[in-house]
Amino acid sequence: MPYSRFNTALIVGAGSGLSAALARVLAKEGIKIALASRSIDDLAPLMQETGAQAYPCDASKRADVERLFADLDAASATPEIVIYNASYRTRGPFADLDPTEVEKTIAISAFGGFLVAQQAVKRMLPKKRGVILFTGASASVKGYAESAPFAMGKFALRGLSQSMARELHPQGIHVAHVVIDGGIKSARRAEPADKPASLLDPEGIAATYLHLIHQPHSAWTSEAEVRPWVEKF
Q: Is 106 in the site for a copy of itself (CB under 8 A)?
A: yes
Q: What gap in Å lies between CA 90 and CA 97, rounded to an integer?
A: 8
Min dist. Cβ of residue 1 to a copy of itself (A): 17
The edge-to-edge listing of strands for the beta sheet with 81-84 is: 53-56, 32-37, 8-12, 81-84, 130-137, 173-180
Min dist. Cβ of residue 44 to a copy of itself (A): 27
Q: Is 97 in the site for a copy of itself (CB under 8 A)?
A: yes
DSSP class of residue 189 equals -
Among 26, 115, 133, 213, binds a copy of itself (CB under 8 A): 115
Among 103, 104, 183, 186, binds a copy of itself (CB under 8 A): 103
Sketch the per residue contact string, 7 through 46, with a copy of itself: x for CB under 8 A, - otherwise.
----------------------------------------
Among 185, 186, 190, 194, binds a copy of itself (CB under 8 A): 185
Q: Is 104 in the site for a copy of itself (CB under 8 A)?
A: no
Min dist. Cβ of residue 154 to a copy of itself (A): 7
Q: Is 101 in the site for a copy of itself (CB under 8 A)?
A: no
Q: What gap in Å lies between CA 175 and CA 60, rounded to an integer?
A: 20
Sketch the per residue contact string, 191 through 230, with a copy of itself: x for CB under 8 A, - otherwise.
------x-xxx-xxx-xx--x--xxxxxxxxxxxxxxxxx
Q: What gap in Å lies between CA 82 and CA 107, rounded to an integer?
A: 18
Stretch that binds a copy of itself, among 25-33, 34-42, 72-80, 117-125 (CB under 8 A): 117-125
What residues from 158 to 177 belong to the interface with a copy of itself (CB under 8 A)? Answer: 158-170, 172, 174
| 59, 60, 61, 65 alpha-carbon torsion, rounded to 10° | 30
Residue among 74 and 219 whose Cβ is closer to a copy of itself: 219
Residue among 46 and 117 whose Cβ is closer to a copy of itself: 117
Nearest to 135 by CA among 182, 79, 170: 182
What residues from 59 to 88 belong to the interface with a copy of itself (CB under 8 A)? Answer: 62
Nearest to 132 by CA among 176, 78, 69: 176
CA distances from 4 to 7, 129, 145, 178 (A): 7, 13, 42, 21
What is the Cβ-side half-sphere exposure of residue 27, based on CA atoms within 13 angstroms?
Answer: 18
Q: What angle do CA 141, 144, 212 make, to 5 degrees?
A: 30
Min dist. Cβ of residue 132 to a copy of itself (A): 11
What is the Cβ-side half-sphere exposure of residue 44, based on CA atoms within 13 angstroms?
Answer: 2
